[in-house]
Structure 1
Amino acid sequence: MAYPIAHTAAPESGGRKPIYTLLYAQVLLAIICGALLGHFYPAAGEALKPLGDGFIKLVKMVIAPVIFLTVVTGIAGMRELAAVGRVAGKAFGYFLAVSTLALFVGLAVANIVQPGAGMNIDPASLNASAVADFAHQAHETTITGFLMAIIPTTMVSALTEGSILQTLFVAILFGISLSLVGAPARPVLDFAERVMLVVFRLVGILMRAAPLGAFGAIAFTVGKYGAGSLVSLGGLVATFYLTSLLFILLVLGTIARLHGFSILRLISYLKAELLLVLGTSSSEAALPSLIAKLERAGCDKGVVGLVVPTGYSFNLDGTNIYMTLAALFIAQACGIELSWGDQFALLGVA
Structure 2
Amino acid sequence: MTEHLTKAIMAGMVLGIFVGYLVNQGVLAGVMETEHWTRSFQMLSTIFLNLIKMLVAPLVLATIISGLAHMGDSAAVGRIGFRAIVWFILASFISISLGLVMVNFFQPGVGVDLTAKAQTIGEVKKLDLFEFIEHVFPKNIIAAMGENNVLQILVFALFAGIGLTAIGEKGAPLVRGAEALGDLMLQVTGYVMRFAPFAVFGALAKVVAENGLGILGTYAQLLLEFYLSLGLLWSLLLGIGFLFLGARAFTLVRYVREPVMIAFSTASSEAAMPKLFEQLDRFGVPRRISGLMIPLGYSFNLDGSMMYASFATIFIAQAYGIHLDWGTQILILLTLMVSSKGIAAVPRASLVVIAATLAMFDLPVEGIALVLAIDQFLDMGRTATNVLGNAVATSVITKWEGMLQVPLDPDQGEPEAPTQTPDHGKKGLHLDGEQ
Q: Same fold (TM over 0.5)?
A: yes
In structure 2, what is the equivalent of residue 133 of structure 1? 123
Give the aligned residue type for 2:133: L
RMSD: 1.8
C-alpha distance in 2, partners of 1:329/1:52?
A: 30
CA contact (8 A) 1:120 1:334 kept: no
> Are 1:39 and 2:21 counterparts?
yes
Structure 1 residues without counterparts, runs of 5 or longer: 1-9, 13-18
**Which has the larger displacement, 181-190 or 151-160?**
151-160
C-alpha distance in 2, partners of 1:52/1:152?
A: 30
C-alpha distance in 2, partners of 1:262/1:234?
A: 35
Give the aligned residue type for 1:133: E
In structure 1, what is the equivalent of residue 61 of structure 2? 68
Match of 2:109 among 105, 112, 116: 116
> Are 1:346 and 2:354 counterparts?
no
> How many Å apart are 1:41 and its aligned residue?
1.5
* Map 1:214-229 → 2, pairs under 5 A: 214-229=200-215
C-alpha distance in 2, partners of 1:191/1:108?
A: 50
CA contact (8 A) 1:37 1:219 kept: yes
> Are 1:51 and 2:41 counterparts?
no
As a proportion of its length, which structure holds more helix?
1
In structure 1, what is the equivalent of residue 414 of structure 2? none
Deviations 1:159-200 (A, max 9, x none): 222111111111111111111111211121112112222121
In structure 1, what is the equivalent of residue 178 of structure 2? 192
Match of 1:168 among 154, 162, 167: 154
Structure 2 residues without counterparts, runs of 5 or longer: 25-33, 337-435
C-alpha distance in 2, partners of 1:153/1:51?
A: 34
CA contact (8 A) 1:106 1:324 kept: yes
> How many Å apart are 1:259 and its aligned residue?
2.6
In structure 1, what is the equivalent of residue 187 of structure 2? 201
Match of 2:6 among 5, 24, 47: 24
* Map 1:214-253 → 2, pairs under 5 A: 214-253=200-239
* Map 1:265-276 → 2, pairs under 5 A: 265-276=251-262
CA contact (8 A) 2:58 2:181 kept: no
- With over 3 angstroms needed to count, the CA separation of the structure-2 counterparts of 1:147 and 1:261, relative to structure 1, is farther
Give the aligned residue type for 1:84: V
Deviations 1:225-274 (A, max 9, x none): 22211222222211111111111113432323433343332122111111
Give the aligned residue type for 2:11: L
Give the aligned residue type for 1:100: F
- With over 3 angstroms needed to count, the CA separation of the structure-2 counterparts of 1:286 and 1:110, relative to structure 1, is same
- Taking CA–CA contacts closer than 8 Å with sequence separation of 6 or more, which of the two structures ends up with the larger relative contact order? 1
> How many Å apart are 1:126 and its aligned residue?
6.4
Deviations 1:84-140 (A, max 9, x none): 000100000000001111100000001111111112537xx863x725722xx0x2x
CA contact (8 A) 1:34 1:45 kept: no
* Map 1:289-328 → 2, pairs under 5 A: 289-328=275-314
Number of matched pairs: 325
Give the aligned residue type for 1:39: Y
In structure 2, what is the equivalent of residue 335 of structure 1? 321
> Are 1:98 and 2:91 counterparts?
yes
SS where residue 48 of structure 1 aligns?
A: helix
Give the aligned residue type for 1:25: K
- With over 3 angstroms needed to count, the CA separation of the structure-2 counterparts of 1:237 and 1:97, relative to structure 1, is same
Give the aligned residue type for 1:50: M
CA contact (8 A) 2:238 2:250 kept: no
C-alpha distance in 2, partners of 1:155/1:332?
A: 45
What is the percent sequence identity of the aligned residues?
32
